Each structure stands twice: as structure tokens, then as C-alpha cells.
Amino acid sequence: MLRSSSSGGPYTALGIVTGTTYSDETVAQGHTYYYVVRSVDTSWNRSGNSTEVSQLADLRSVAVTFNVTVPASTDGTGRPVHIAGTFAQLGSVDWDPTANVMSRVDATHWTITLTGKEATNLEYKYVLGDWNFVEKDGSCGEIANRTATITYGPGGTQTINDTVPNWHAVPPC
């Protein structure tokens, strides 16, 4: 297996491949690499290079599902649950309390699936569509921004489970 950082070479040998696949673990994200292979027989006779192929080294996409358990009083507000945060990197907008409306599962559970690149760091909060109705802790105090790093889980999925104890401006807060 040979690799170059420019089309047509020059190529550098990466290693000997005895199977039909090879994983290049020494690439830098955002760079395109060019690969060729050549055969070697038991007498060390080498074939010419194969047709060149190229590949952009990029992080994998991950479907991230956010599940949140909310207070029983949530339905009584008549407001849907949203998730707001650093979501421009997921194709949404940053810190917009009206974006990213979640789907109601039942009276105390909501969910949404967003897609992003692995290794992306996120900050977020749950909100009822308006910053006047942001999540609060068990004694109605502030909650720091939640954080998560997107990781490539089974089949390219990740699940994040959270609980919102209370909402600002919704009893008991």
C-alpha cells in the first residue's frame, strides 16, 4: 500500500497488505490522500501501480439521540420541549430556544435525534421554547450548561439521557 498527499505521487510505502482491506490510521482530518497498490510475488517481483484512488480524511457522522425526562407539570404549560445549544455545528443554530423542538413520547419524556461529526463538543440546555422557561435544578437554582462530546457508538449512534428537575416560571419555581 502506497500513499501520497498529491495526485500522481510521489508515493510512500505504508505497509504490506495480505488481505483485501487496509485502514490508514496516520491521516490528518481535512486532508485528501491518494493511494495506489502494487502486487509482489514470492520472488519479490513487483507489478506496476494500480489505478490511483483518493479519499478525504473526515470524521464520521453520528446520529445523536437526546432523551429527556421532564417534570409532570410540563404538559400543563402547553409548551413543547426544545433543546438549545451549540448546534450550528450540527446544521442548526446556536442557542436559539425556539429551534430544535423535541418530540413528545409521553407526559414526562421527550426526544430528538440530531446528526453531527464525531469528536464534536456540545453545550446545551432544555427550554420550553423561551428563555423564561429554561430548566432549573431541584431547588429552582441555575443549572450549568450541559456538555457532551459526540462519539461514534454502535452503528454510528449515540444516546444521551438527561433529566430536568424543574422549569423557571413553572411551579414550584
What domains lie within the chain, and their CATH numbers? Answer: 1-58 (no CATH), 61-167 (2.60.40.10)
Checking if the pLDDT of 102 tops 80, the result is yes
CA distance linking residue 173 with residue 169, whole number of Å: 6
d(CA 100, CA 102): 6
Other CB atoms within 10 A of residue 83 CB: 25
Residue 76 CA to its chain's centroid (Å): 33
Residues in contact with 17: Cβ distance below 8 Å, sequence separation at least 6, in sequence order: 1, 37
pLDDT band for position 20 (cuts 50, 70, 90): confident
Amino acid at site 113: T
Predicted TM-score (pTM) of this structure: 0.74
Q: Tell me how far apart the alpha carbons of residues 30 and 3 are, in angstroms, rounded to a whole number.
A: 16
Cα–Cα distance measured from residue 97 to residue 136, given in angstroms and rounded to the nearest whole number:
15
- The string of pLDDT tens digits covering residues 27-76 is 877 889 999 998 888 898 989 998 999 888 878 899 999 999 999 999 99
Q: What is the mean pLDDT of residues 77-91?
A: 95
Cα–Cα distance, 150 to 109 (Å, whole number): 22
Q: What is the pLDDT of residue 114?
A: 96
